[in-house]
DNA sequence: ACAATTATGTAGCGACTGCTACAAGAAAAA
DNA sequence: TTTTTCTTGTAGCAGTCGCTACATAATTGT
């Protein structure tokens, strides 16, 4: 159920999702969605948790958990992953979560914070210097996501190129 | 007219804005908005241009156009500016533009690209090494905006602290 | 003064929003 | 078997969405 909803949201966007299209994507009715989740807000909250978990699993599966040789190598791998077909929908939904968070929607803010924390730990495990440097790289990666989102991947690439590394 | 619309959007969000509330914020009717702009999409397109110009003026007025001493000093100034009360609404709307761009809305994509280009030139004028390094710092600043948006300003601060500088 | 254009209010259309009242079938418990 | 609980479909409510038809007023051009 949640997986079908997640698939629909990954394809069509989170902030513009409404009950009836989601329901038909999941093979039910809006009536049933409210029955199961209580309200749309509750549905979104559960969906955010599901998406976060799904993304965490995907990240773990995609890259080895051994430290990379350099900042640049690590960031390059991560960015290539985020730009790949299977992960691009997650990037788009992630930007939806961020914008809703910044508007003060608490469920998105909470989920967004957790996703960042997970990502930070994931990065730290793959960087020789651990968490301190990972914070920098994570911030840069988020910036790269923004650049990609507005069609300025060249600037993002320049930022990667400037990193210390092989 | 556009200024009143911009003020409403800065206060209430861009992607959730609808004609009737915008109209009443501007002292007119939805009827008149369509009459003047032709359609909501056209209105949004003009509004995006207005917001971009407004933001560029604000940036120019806020910080001196002489180069800063270090990466860290420059980024710190810019981030403090973005976090200040008058600019926070712009940051929120900016995140709205990014998420809409990533969903493929062409007006937002176009406006977003222009805003980035403006910002890059603005930064380059304030950095001793010019555009090459400015690309890196701009990417990082966008990441910091994301961190702030999801309530992880501590990570953003760590990233600033790691920059070379006084 | 008359005609043509521009501006504005009123009312409403059809589609969509989240959600609910009501009823009925399905399943489980007694 | 009967009763209670769980699940589902049908229909619809009140509200909002972008937008438009129609009429009227104000302005402008000749």
How does pLDDT run across A101-139, given as a tens digit for each residue?
A: 999 999 999 999 999 999 999 999 999 887 889 999 999
The reported pLDDT for the residue numbered A132 is 82
Radius of gyration of chain A (CA): 17
Question: Is A144 within 8 Å of A80 (Cβ atoms)?
Answer: no
Rounded-to-integer distance, Cα B143 and Cα A105, Å: 20
- Please report, for residues A4, A15, A30, A33, A39, the alpha-carbon distance to residue A27 in angstroms, rounded to integers and kept in the order given: 9, 21, 10, 10, 18
Q: What are phi and psi of A147, to 5 degrees?
A: -60, -45
* Number of inter-chain CB pairs under 8 A, A vs B: 148
In this predicted structure, the answer to whether residue A166 has a pLDDT above a threshold of 80 is: no
Q: Which two tokens stand for residue B56?
A: 């560029």
CA distance A94 to A124: 20
- C-alpha–C-alpha distance, residues A1 and A71, integer Å: 39
Q: How far does A44 lie from chain B, in Å, by closest CA?
A: 17
Per-residue pLDDT tens digits for A43-79: 999 999 999 999 999 999 999 989 998 999 999 999 9
**C-alpha span between B163 and A118 (Å, rounded):** 24
Q: For residue range B116-145, list pLDDT tens digits in order.
A: 999 999 999 999 887 889 999 999 999 999
Closest alpha carbon within chain B to A143: B143
Residue A39 has pLDDT above 90, yes or no: yes
CB within 8 Å of B86: residues ≥ 6 apart: B58
Greatest Cα pair distance, chain A, in angstroms, is 56
Select from A136, A141, A155 the Cβ nearest to the Cβ of B138: A155
Which stretches in chain B have pLDDT values below 70? 166
- The nearest CA of chain B is from the CA of A66 a distance in Å of 23
A89 touches chain B (CB under 8 A): no
The CB-side HSE value for B140 (13 A sphere, CA atoms) comes to 29
The residue among A27, A36, A38, A137 whose CA lies nearest residue A79 is: A137
For residue A149, give the nearest of B102, B148, B159 by CB distance. B102
The 3-state DSSP composition of chain B as helix, strand, coil percent (nearest 5) reads 75, 0, 25
The nucleotide whose C1' lies nearest the CA of A35 is: D7
Name the region of A39 (left: φ>0; alpha: ψ -120 to 50; beta: rest).
Answer: beta
Q: Does A96 touch chain B (CB under 8 A)?
A: yes
Distance from CA of B150 to the nearest CA of A (A): 5
Chain A contact present for B162, CB below 8 A:
yes
**Burial of B99: CB neighbours in 10 Å, binned 0-12, 13-18, 19+:** buried
The verdict on B152 touching A (C-beta cutoff 8 Å) is: yes
**A131 closest CA partner among A143, A145, A119:** A119
CA distance A139 to B5: 32
- Please name which of B118, B163, B79 lies closest in space to residue A162, comparing C-alpha atoms: B163
Number of H helices, E strands in chain A: 9, 0
Global confidence as pTM: 0.96
Q: Which nucleotides of D are covered by protein (CB under 7 A)?
A: 7-12, 16-21
Residue B18 to residue B15: CA distance in whole angstroms: 9
More confident residue, A34 or A165: A34
As given in the structure block, the two tokens for residue A45 are 């909250």
Residue A164: the pLDDT is 87
The region, left, alpha or beta by phi > 0 then psi within -120 to 50, assigned to residue B123 is: alpha
Q: Which residue of B has its CA nearest to A145?
A: B143
Number of Cα atoms under 13 Å in the Cβ half of residue B71:
19
- Residue A26: the pLDDT is 97
| Residue corresponding to tokens 């990609």 | A148
Residue with tokens 């407004």: B54
């Amino acid at each position: 159920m949640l997986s079908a909803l997640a698939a629909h949201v990954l394809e069509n966007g989170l902030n513009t999702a409404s009950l009836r299209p989601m329901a038909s994507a999941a093979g039910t009715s809006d009536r049933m969605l409210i029955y199961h989740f209580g309200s749309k807000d509750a549905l979104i909250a559960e969906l955010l948790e599901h998406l976060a978990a799904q993304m965490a699993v995907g990240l773990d599966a995609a890259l080895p958990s051994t430290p990379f040789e350099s900042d640049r190598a690590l960031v390059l791998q991560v960015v290539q992953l985020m730009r790949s077909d299977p992960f691009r929908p997650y990037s788009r939904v992630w930007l939806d979560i961020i914008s809703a968070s910044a508007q003060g929607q608490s469920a998105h803010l909470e989920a967004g914070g957790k996703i960042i924390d997970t990502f930070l730990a994931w990065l730290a495990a793959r960087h020789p210097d651990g968490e301190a440097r990972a914070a920098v790289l994570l911030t840069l990666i988020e910036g790269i996501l923004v650049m990609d989102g507005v069609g300025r991947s060249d600037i993002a690439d320049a930022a990667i190129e400037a990193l210390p590394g092989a």
